[in-house]
Structure 1
Amino acid sequence: MTEQSIIFFDIDGTLLTHDKELPNSTKEAIFKLKEIGHEVAIATGRAPFMFEDLRKELEINTFVSYNGQYVVLRGEVLHTNPLNINALEKLTEAALQNSHPVLFMDHEDMKANVPEHDYIKESISTLKIDRFPTHDPSYYKGRDLYQMLLFCPEGEEEQYEMGFQEYDFVRWHPVSVDVMPKGGSKAKGIQKVVDKLGFSPERQFAFGDGLNDIKMLSSVPNSVAMGNAEEEVKAVAKYVTKSVEENGIYHGLQMVGLL
């Protein structure tokens, strides 16, 4: 009998292509892993509501979302790490003064603090999800938020990095930056899952391609960077597979001996 492993997959650029399509070979690989008896999970910067359809299609109910701030294990919430609300209010005020919109995000929805903005349309549209943020500048009040999106051109986030030590800022789009609790990461969310399930380090695997995957690929012992990943991401991974468009998931799983 094959010893059970747990495998975490990033979504954008890893499970999904640049056009947000799921390769047939990837879907086949995921179901083969589960048939063998392995645990399959998702680790993403996305909100839970942004990949609900994908979870249903792949029959995955364990996931690390919001870059580790909202973790679900087999359908039950395991860990949450909300944003500091006082710093959130101050950052929102500073962003307004700079004409930089923000997006408030909890586990169920996302609301913008401005009625509309080109940066929001430009970045959110690339995710190709079936909903678009609506306007509610007070959405942050009375609820836990796990991530904000700050919309500004590259380099302009530096002023916020210096002024708001409570947060980490990770760019995911030329005009948009993830704002998350300081020190929060996919790696920490993954650790919550593997601690709960008791997987030994040698039975832990992760696949990713983006800058927000660097901590994950640095900490998970059997890490695999996609062929389409940036060079600094490949540099921290134990293995490098083919690109997502070249059946990279299936190839990578064969490379590490899981298929």
Structure 2
Amino acid sequence: MAIKAVFFDFDGTLYSHTQHRVPASTVKAIDALQKQGIACVLATGRHVSELKDLHFDLSLDAWITLNGQLCFKGDHYFRKKELHGAASLQKQFDAMQVPLMFVEEKRLYVSFINDQVRQAHKAISTPLPPVGRWNGAPVYMALAYMNAQQAEHVQLDGFKVTRWNQDAVDIVPPDVSKVAGIKAYCDLHHIKKEETMAFGDGENDMEMLRWAGTGIAMGQADGIVKQCADDVCEDIDHDGIPHALMRYGSGRD
């Protein structure tokens, strides 16, 4: 069945943190897909402001951000789901003295900055967030800067937690994932699951790779992520996406 939409993770999939850009070969491959009428959609845990800080300016067909919490095409949201329980999260992480970031529609901020915050943001080439406190505004995602040992002492029943760095996890509602955003996009455009392809390299991509008609893990992904995929391509700095698209008959000029 012909592919009608391809969904791309951002960090380590579209964006190389060694080159500090989207590789030129990937830009060319996405342009070729779009010329064939194949939709190219971002599916990331990132906030749009972070992407702007990295000068990410690919012309994509839609944006699934915050792991499926805020999804938009142009000026139109086709999915928008709030995270409830911000007050309890803030109380728990304050007591543990673990930095907690809240992500709102237009801004993000962290309770305080320590070495774990610095390490996590350095790994994804992103400036440190401003320090701030929750004032009751709608929150769409939270991030806790804690390692696996610290996480053993946290009670997060009623939330979904996915690790994206050894010192950081995303916290979202239990029924939320990149797949929720992908399904919303596909329903909007009458695209079947079998007509989709997805690329990713992180733990928060695993469900997406399982769900897509063809799920492809990047070469640098951990083994647990690769096990969820139908195929594994080369890593981001060795033209992984273009090579995979060529193998599946897409991405040609």
TM (normalized to structure 2)?
A: 0.92
- What is the match of residue 95 of structure 2? 97
- Displacement of 1:51 in angstroms is 1.6
1:65-144 equivalences in 2 (<5 Å): 65-84=65-84, 87-114=85-112, 116-129=113-126, 131-139=127-135, 141=136, 143-144=137-138
Deviation at 1:203, TM superposition (A): 1.4
Q: What is the SS of the residue equivalent to 1:149?
A: strand
Q: Distance in 2 between matches of 1:56 and 1:120?
A: 22
Which residue is 2:162 aligned to? 170
| Structure-1 separation of matches of 2:152 and 2:159 | 12
- 1:33 is aligned to 33
Name the structure 2 match of 1:208: 200
CA contact (8 A) 1:206 1:220 kept: yes
Q: Does the Cα contact within 8 Å between 2:218 and 2:235 map onto a contact in 1?
A: yes
Per-residue deviation at 1:7? 0.5
Cα RMSD between the aligned structures?
1.9
- CA offset digits 1:207-237 (Å, max 9, x no partner): 1111110000011111111111111111111
Q: Which residue of 2 aligns with 1:18?
A: 17
**Structure 2: gaps spanning 5 or more residues:** none
For 1:196 and 1:207, the matched residues in 2 are separated by 21
Does residue 148 (structure 1) correspond to residue 142 (structure 2)? The answer is yes
User: Counterpart amino acid of 1:211?
Assistant: E
TM-score, normalisation: structure 1:
0.90
SS in 2 for 1:178: strand
Letter in 2 for 1:148: A
Compute the displacement of 1:55 (Å): 8.3
Q: Which amino acid aligns with 1:100?
A: V
Give the fraction of aligned pairs with identical amino acids, expressed as a percent. 27
TM superposition shift of 1:158: 2.7
Counterpart amino acid of 1:181?
P
Deviations 1:180-218 (A, max 9, x none): 111211111100000110012221111111111000001
Letter matched to residue 146 of structure 1:
Y
